[in-house]
Amino acid sequence: MFDIALVGCGGMMPLPNRYLSSLLLRFEGRMVLIDCGEGTQVSAKQVGWGFKTIDCICLTHFHADHVAGLPGLLLSIGHSGRDEPLTIVGPVGVAHIVRSLCVIAPEIPFPLNFVEIPAGGMKDFKIPLTNFILGAHPAHHNCPCFAFRIDIGRLGKFDPDAARALNIPVNFWGKLQKGETLEHNGQILTPDMVMSAPRRGLSVSYCTDSRPPRGLPAFIQNSDLFVCEGHYGDEERLPKARAYKHMIFSEAAELARKGGVGELWLTHFSPAMPNPGDYLKNARKIFQNTHIGHDRKTTTLNFQED
């Protein structure tokens, strides 16, 4: 089970009824958080998954509404008893930014490791302590900014008939299923002898604070869930979206359509838009399976049946 919670859905500043955009992902008890604005820890507390196993925080960019909550969250993770290292991924300079913010949190009781995303993005970064595979793709904002994709891979299916035909002892089966290569009676046994090709995994993509980025549909291709900013709902706000490097609902929907994703959640709403649902139709006429995000909107993705 791959659990996803939209911790907040606001942009620019936190509001009494809307926390700032942030996404929490959980698989096998380990968690990754994308962005951490002021108040993210409060809404995350209400999500109720705890703080201790947040193994990685991915920062799209360094604007305050995406990072100002970091020192408080890191302290709260510390209070949860964590002592394992925590990885923070972000644009070049991430260590400097986080260390500057943490001038008021000198006593974080676990190591921080920093991963800088090269300007061109990155792919296939295995997040330590988790089974999440992270990719980053350049967004198009007024500062270095990235879209993220998080994949959970799934091995192929074990074929016991093949294993028996090859006279592989039953006590070897489990190790082969886990991907190990073994030797038995002088014979090299590899997983592919008894496993089908890897099966379809699960994938979530995330893009905020951007004009529609070049190449994004390929980057998010076939994601089960695409969480994307719809800073404005009204088509007439397109000039403003262009000026401030944001997207309107229909642009997010167009990305979802081209990317062939399963579902689109809109987020990062302008404080000037109290009722994003008023504009949902502008997205749905392009991509039907669009949903308006709200604080702590949650879903669970499951592997397909074999």
Point out which residues bind its own copies (CB under 8 A): 13-16, 37-39, 41-43, 45-46, 62-65, 67-69, 71-72, 75-76, 79, 96-97, 100-101, 103-105
- Judged by beta carbon, residue 79 or residue 123, the one nearer its own copies is 79
Strand 112-117: give its sheet, edge to edge.
112-117, 86-91, 54-58, 30-34, 22-27, 2-8, 297-301
Q: Rounded distance, CA 24 to CA 113, Å?
A: 19
Q: Rounded distance, CA 174 to CA 178, Å?
A: 6
Longest Cα separation, the chain: 72
Shortest Å distance, C-beta 40 to its own copies = 9
Shortest Å distance, C-beta 76 to its own copies = 5
Contact 191, 173 (CB under 8 A): no
Which residue in 109, 140, 110, 105 sits closest to 229, CA to CA? 140
Bridge partner list, 24: 5, 33
- Judged by beta carbon, residue 90 or residue 135, the one nearer its own copies is 90
- Judged by beta carbon, residue 108 or residue 133, the one nearer its own copies is 108
Shortest Å distance, C-beta 121 to its own copies = 22
Contact 117, 92 (CB under 8 A): yes
Shortest Å distance, C-beta 37 to its own copies = 8
CA atoms within 13 A on the CB side of 260: 4
Contact 89, 122 (CB under 8 A): no
Q: Rounded distance, CA 41 to CA 125, Å?
A: 25
- Judged by beta carbon, residue 100 or residue 304, the one nearer its own copies is 100
Q: Rounded distance, CA 112 to CA 20, Å?
A: 23
Q: DSSP strand E in 14-111: where?
A: 22-27, 30-34, 54-58, 86-91
Shortest Å distance, C-beta 39 to its own copies = 5
Q: Rounded distance, CA 73 to CA 112, Å?
A: 13
Chain position carrying tokens 């988790």: 130
Shortest Å distance, C-beta 13 to its own copies = 5
- Judged by beta carbon, residue 46 or residue 190, the one nearer its own copies is 46
The residues assigned a catalytic role are: 65
- Judged by beta carbon, residue 62 or residue 249, the one nearer its own copies is 62
Bridge partner list, 23: 6, 34
